[in-house]
Structure 1
């Protein structure tokens, strides 16, 4: 292949990506044989429902609790349970587990006493794989347990005597809220055909999975087919609930009659008895069949889910006050917006952009620029006068979603206890985080590149294994690994603070400069990927580099195709998207081999999608914020100091977590910046404060006193809410979402004072410029940066920046004057984010205006 041809292919792929990015309670009385256990509405949002004895199973000891059932958006709810039979870990999954799904239909509809029409409205059935269990048992797995199929099963009546579908139906169809319905596979409703990947130009019959993918697929579904119970009968699942913006075929929260459409969480417990004959199959058999089989479906537990309305929350005719800034405040703002506009209050719009671009915009004289922005970085200068007001405290975290995917032959009692369970503890050091962020594990480089003596994955790193010994027994298959530490696109203070924390640690700093670590006697030490070794000489940077330009290459029809870092380890579109993809354990990356068979006309070959890791197999981590992690029910890593003991084993000496107590402790250890009244946490110094989480950050609202009087009045209302009801933790509109910590009283008083100052300021007599730029400008200013840094709608710093001056105490209300200090570091970066096409442009520039509060896809 010629060089020109190769360049043409690469340019075509890049152009496609550019265009894609721009397109951007008690048990209710029920019929004794068929009705579900159902939660009642109550004063509290959390609901607990009991199972019951019915048929050949007794689930009366099972108590299932759903952490939140009202004011739901696209988020996770915690589903916990007690009183279950432990799931055996020494055989394939076939008995004693739970299955979870989201459904839009009416579970008590007249004419549907068995709920067989209701089951058609449930998002479930893609045949997701089982968790890996220990070897040595001849017991079978449950047949069709994760599907909608109605295959004949030996010893089971076919069809079920209560089944309402045709006898020849192959599956329980899915029915969409808009009336669409998949075929059931009977001669009257046959499946269609699809291209045969093994026969050029040939076709083959579709499967049940294929027809479901017209509505939901493996990358979008929230079904949870195998939820395992621990030895004490307890369990926990962070279950993703989806509103109509993310799952239009379910329509949850969309207008329906007098209010938003109610949906339901359905839990189907699986026992250990033949659902028809009653025989105990716990030892040598399994409970077969889809959860939609009538004999299994009868045990369902149904919990109502009430979503916030998807659509307008405030007046569409009232003037909107623009705000913009750091995503650290996004969850808080989207909670406060509907409360602020209630009763003809101010309509506050918000766009998530970088801290430095937010500073630039609040200084703009343009009439269309926002008069108030949010940033963790203060603005100092001379003109115009600015006010700084603390509004939210949260933290940067490494979130994780990890199941006990242990080697099938690991059989010790502790290993059996953890097999298939969701891990709640993970320890990381600054050096381990540095390794993850620099593509220094060989599997993080396309084509398995990088230094040849480095471990392939973090699960083989001695430092990580010493701090997290359960990984010594991890499944050793290549796919059972971390598909990179997911990081958000763009430039931010949050990112810079993470790098400051890494570089404040001598062992991490030395390692980044080229010093190897110790992987044990007789083994070469792990070294930093050379592509990153010079990036931190000047201090912390405010972006996550993708500096290794290695590419895996394949040729097809004399054309060379490349799979490079941004294909293989793409950026997440935002902190929130990083958290969501961690919940889904989906990096959205692509890898070899190149797919070339049966391509649609005019379509180029494409790389293989790295599959989403299913429940039981998940090993996913991301850099996100504490509010986004909480929104999606994620655990966060402990950040530890560690050192080798006399035997060379790494021992954690001091671990900090992003808990309310530890982030509050960090607020007490903040030190002054150069701007009066603005404090910051210095990661290098905060460790001296006992129990203080080092990546705690305070977001400040920065108001322009030269803004129009009506704007300043409404901004002041926002600040007073932020200092009052907005600091009360809760899930209702107007409260402080989980993942934030309430501000100390002194900071709240500072914000109230700033609100008064902003509202009462004297407006300038010189009119502002007439231009009207958007809150987040469409393009960056030219500059220079390392290759591989993606373009963002808000274009801040291009490359390495020295750490900020060490901040040195309690807040005081004050007015500062502003200038564009340190923010003329913009860059045009020619690398875009693979995987953002069609679905993630919104999170990159997340327009979270009140017209769609917290219901973004």
Structure 2
């Protein structure tokens, strides 16, 4: 970063000299721009990767060491908590009995109870919302995963309390929860109005293995996900405003009682609530520093619009924060790439679109901006079968780190072809002699002979032999489906292209049984002879259809209220959300009828039980990395199972072929052994002839930053977040030439605006033809480039980045972090999933206006409204792609 001012200055001088300006003016302006942008790009705070903290236990747990992987610059993400020196966890049947670990997030100042290890009050910790009251299979004893305690003035056992509960029957009570706004909940804490088992991040049961070690991924929540904790909210003390810090609190549960003797009865769970006064004395607190959740850009500032690919979301949000001090605000709205391209076609003055494919108009200019990938992320915990070898039983309950998936296996999941994918379509019938047979409606006889799910599929076991010793309940909520995002995207198109490029997967979709006899669900077959009466399935698509029409009313439910495929396998709003719910092990399957609902409806039971979790999702590499998901190795065209890493993405991108003015990674052509098949190269596309001169300069500045400092991997605002591979020098040079083309375009609109792209004007490149470019770049449909070929990418913003600046803005108020955009669509604790990540929260009046305008929105790809599940039950019929286009963009806000 030390070379950024000099490189920016040289670039600035050349630019101004070509315009006939003097070198002295160039030096002054270049220094000003570089000075404004530098603090955000090279902040002084220590990198997040250097903020790991290791703490020790006390008393019974003095030999334990706990390490939290990141404690500063936090957002809504996952951190890793590991420990050593513990005693192996024991069980009472299937319940956690002794020597396990509990983790929670809390707010507030030091309560003074443990001078050697400052920490918060136990009343200010998000804990106690586990599903014990709803599910007998949850591995608790109705105390250790709640806030329930028993009062005793002189406690003799863990789980007793010397402060709360004295007024309750038999001394039973609850430890209150106090919100950051002062709200106190002292009864019904397990099902309270602030957090529930659908939204809490508490870890009730973390296992210590046979070697005394353990590992968990903990989801840190900001004030946007958990407003009652307020982490990251601005707090002013002594005239200084900083983001509110919070705490990660670890409470180990042991095997000794208060008298120091082992529990007398090992046949039952003995642990009590971790927030009881007795257990709280063993707590270990680690302070957490958060990025601010408020915007780092001035509110009301002029904004340049950018829209499109979710693959650009995390990177764009980081770049936004760094570019704010230049005086230009770059708004970002996530919409599917097909809709973004259509918007650019219909309204070329709408700004910049992120896409992985060509727009299809001759005057589009493309700049590669990031290298990402679609991944299959998962949370899978080992549950050893009865009779499994000791080597497997010893690690039962730990997380699986890697699996291998072929295109055919992914096709099976996406086509709902496992027996239990179409829930309850195959039933067991018992005859008078006690013999059991499987029965199914005529259209579903194929399901009777198919495996129940992935883990019992010989095709899967052939590549993942460990799973032959594991067990899982194969339902729509486990190994029979992938969590997928609703809508059209280039990522979905890439997944289907990978499937279609594999001959075994193509045969399966055509109705040919796999080597083990499994056949495709006919509603997804490409074979007309298997036509079930619906249009023949076409794998050349850009969405994840749920074509099977099976619906059924659940037992004890309203017979007129049926569950259908979007209830069994609900969509999520986007890939980020899929990663979050996979980390929580919550597929949102609305499996139970809630008679107490208003109105009664199907609802999700929440996360899967600890120790037997099995959830898979198609997400993007950045979201998977953010939430600490394990990712599958995918079979590439060379026959190699390859993991998504920076190296494998770069290798695959080297084989990209030009199509429509951009380079596209064709999975069929990823033949290098270390090439990842679902690599995607994301471009920024603009139509400079439709833009004002000021807008062109601003967008050129964004591109120069994105391929300069924005390609430095790191956690600072302005850097490239984890999950992306830096662009190669050749791609960065291509983007720099495109930026020059955009900035120096001739013949643009005659009128300028100061508030964003102008509308309604058109222009022609200088020299006449669409292929004539001044300064270099890439024109859509031509694939031609011009301008300097050996120039390195600039290390910092150029004058184009600050063309609309009228005054210097202060640098962002934080010094690091991933700076990932906050989920800010007005989530409530009862509805964690409803989120348009990059749209400003709007009031009821604006929402009503947008709803009324929806039928008239132009440029939309028709999408039938679907029943989208809401966490905690219920569903709504929406078209998210259309809603996003109606919502306004906003200045960037770091994602908590």
TM-score by length of 2: 0.73
1:99: which partner in 2? 102
Structure 1 counterpart of 2:716: 732
Instruction: Give the match's secondary structure for 2:174.
Output: coil
1:724 to partner: Cα distance: 1.2
Q: Shift in Å at residue 541 of structure 1?
A: 0.9
Whether 1:500 aligns to 2:492 is: no
Partner of 1:144: 143
- Cα distance change of structure 1 residues 515 and 162 upon mapping to structure 2, 3 Å threshold: closer
Q: Given that residues 318 and 721 in structure 2 are in contact (C-alpha distance below 8 angstroms), is that contact kept between their aligned partners in structure 1? A: yes
Q: Is the 8 A contact 2:160 2:276 kept in 1?
A: no
The partner residue of 2:336 within 344, 354, 363 is 354
Aligned-pair distance for 1:437?
Answer: 0.1
State which drifts further: 114-123 or 419-428. 114-123
**Which whole-Å deviations, capped at 9, do the CAs of 1:558-605 have from their partners, x for residues lacking one?**
9622211112211111011111111112122223x5444x554xx2x3
Matched, 1:54 2:58: yes
Aligned residue runs from structure 1 range 675-754, under 5 A: 675=661, 678-686=662-670, 688-706=671-689, 707-754=691-738
1:672: which partner in 2?
Answer: 658
Question: Deviation string for 1:434-484 (max 9, x for gaps)?
Answer: 000001112221433542222222222111123223332333555683362
Change beyond 3 A, Cα 1:53–1:829: closer
Deviates more, 1:438-447 or 1:394-403: 438-447
1:759 offset after TM fit, Å?
Answer: 1.0
More displaced stretch, 213-222 vs 66-75: 66-75
Q: Distance in 1 between matches of 2:593 and 2:161?
A: 47
Residue aligned with 1:845, SS: helix
Quote how far apart the aligned CAs of 1:108 are.
4.5
Preserved contact between residue 75 and residue 895 of structure 2 (Cα < 8 Å) = yes
2:207 corresponds in structure 1 to: 228
1:635 pairs, out of 630, 638, 654, with 630
Deviation digits for residues 394-420 of structure 1, max 9, x if unmatched? 11111101111333x345222123311
Question: Structure 1 pair 232/398, CA: closer, same or farther in 2 (3 Å)?
Answer: same
- Structure 1 residues 339-418: aligned runs within 5 Å: 339-342=322-325, 344-365=326-347, 367=349, 369=350, 371-382=351-362, 385-407=363-385, 409-418=386-395
Indicate the residue corresponding to 1:577 in structure 2.
577
Deviations 1:613-667 (A, max 9, x none): 133221100111111111111011111379xxxxxxxxx9621111122112112
Within the alignment, does 1:435 sit opposite 2:438 as a pair? no
Whether 2:275 is the aligned partner of 1:312: answer no
1:465: which partner in 2? 461
The structure-2 alpha-carbon separation of the partners of 1:44 and 1:71, relative to structure 1 and needing over 3 Å to count, comes to closer
- Match of 1:77? 79
- Provide the C-alpha distance between the structure 1 equivalents of 2:267 and 2:628, rounded to a whole number of angstroms: 36
Query: How big is the shift at 1:299?
Result: 2.3
Aligned-residue CA RMSD (Å):
3.8
What does the per-residue CA deviation read over 1:76-118, in whole Å, with 9 as the maximum and x for residues that have no partner?
1122233333334796422222111110122355999998971
**How many Å separate the matches in 1 of 2:758 and 2:623?**
26
Q: Is the contact between residue 78 and residue 237 of structure 1 (CA under 8 Å) also seen in structure 2?
A: yes
Alpha-carbon distance change, 466 to 283 in structure 1, aligned in 2, over 3 angstroms = farther
Runs of 5+ unmatched residues, structure 2: 1-44, 427-443, 527-534, 760-774, 783-857
Contact 1:270 1:287 in 2 (8 A): no
- Name whichever structure is richer in helix by fraction: 2
Q: Deviations over 1:228-284 (max 9, x none)?
A: 123333322221111111111111111222122111111122233223434377966
Question: Take 1:835 and 1:760, find their aligned partners in 2: how far apart are those partners?
Answer: 49
Q: In the alignment, what sits opposite 1:553?
A: 553
1:323-342 deviation digits (Å, cap 9, x = unpaired)? 00111110111111111102
1:500-523: CA deviations, max 9, x gaps? 10111111100000001133xxxx
The 1:709/1:83 distance shift into structure 2, 3 A limit, reads farther
Query: Which of the residues 650, 663, 666 maps onto 2:649?
Result: 663
C-alpha deviation, 1:391, in angstroms = 0.5
CA distance in 2 between partners of 1:576 and 1:310 (Å): 18
Change (3 A) 1:581 1:116: closer
**Equivalent position of 2:68 in the other structure:** 66
- Could you give the per-residue CA deviations for residues 164-207 of structure 1, whole angstroms, max 9, x where no partner exists? 33533611111111111112xxxxxxx4xxxxxxxxxxxxxxx5
SS at match of 2:218: strand
Flag the 1:813–1:740 CA change in 2: closer, same or farther, 3 A.
Answer: farther
What secondary structure sits across from 1:851 in the alignment?
A: coil
The match for 1:833 among 868, 872, 880 is 868
| Partner SS state of residue 561, structure 1 | coil
Change (3 A) 1:633 1:89: same
From 203, 209, 213, the equivalent of 2:190 is: 209
Relative distance call for 1:553 and 1:616 in structure 2 (3 A) is same
- Counterpart CA distance in 1 for 2:731 and 2:615 is 36
Structure 1 distance, partners of 2:127, 2:391, is: 32
| Shift in alpha-carbon separation, 1:690–1:471, aligned structure 2, 3 A | closer
In 2, the alpha carbon distance for the partners of 1:669 and 1:750 equals 16
Moved more, 291-300 or 576-585: 291-300
Correspondence for 1:302 among 285, 294, 306? 285
Q: d(CA) in 2 for partners of 1:508 and 1:758?
A: 43
Please tell me whether the aligned partners of residues 366 and 772 of structure 1 are also in contact (alpha carbons under 8 angstroms): no
Change (3 A) 1:289 1:247: same
Q: 614, 617, 620: which is aligned to 2:615?
A: 620
2:262 to 260, 274, 279: 279
Aligned pair in 2 of structure 1 residues 616, 345: CA closer, same or farther (>3 Å)?
Answer: farther
CA–CA separation in structure 1 for the residues paired with 2:558 and 2:781 = 58
Report the Cα distance in structure 2 between the residues aligned to 1:515 and 1:263, rounded to whole angstroms.
Answer: 56
Alignment-derived partner of residue 825 in structure 2: none
Give the 3 Å change call, closer, same or farther, for CA 325–599 of structure 1 in structure 2. Answer: closer
1:609 aligns with 2:612: no
Task: Tell me how far apart the structure 1 counterparts of residues 544 and 109 of structure 2 sit (CA, whole Å).
Answer: 47
Cα distance between partner residues in 1 of 2:675 and 2:550: 39
CA distance in 1 between counterparts of 2:589 and 2:752 reads 46
> What secondary structure does 1:268 align onto?
strand
Contact 2:175 2:275 in 1 (8 A): yes
State the alpha-carbon separation in 1 of the partners of residues 407 and 368 from structure 2.
28
**What residue number does 1:491 align with?**
488
- Contact persistence 1:727–1:743 (CA under 8 A): yes
Per-residue Cα deviation, 1:307-328 (whole angstroms, up to 9, x for no partner): 2212221011320000001111
Deviation, structure 1 residue 537? 6.4
| Secondary structure of the structure 1 residue equivalent to 2:541 | coil
Q: What is the count of residue pairs matched by the alignment?
A: 717
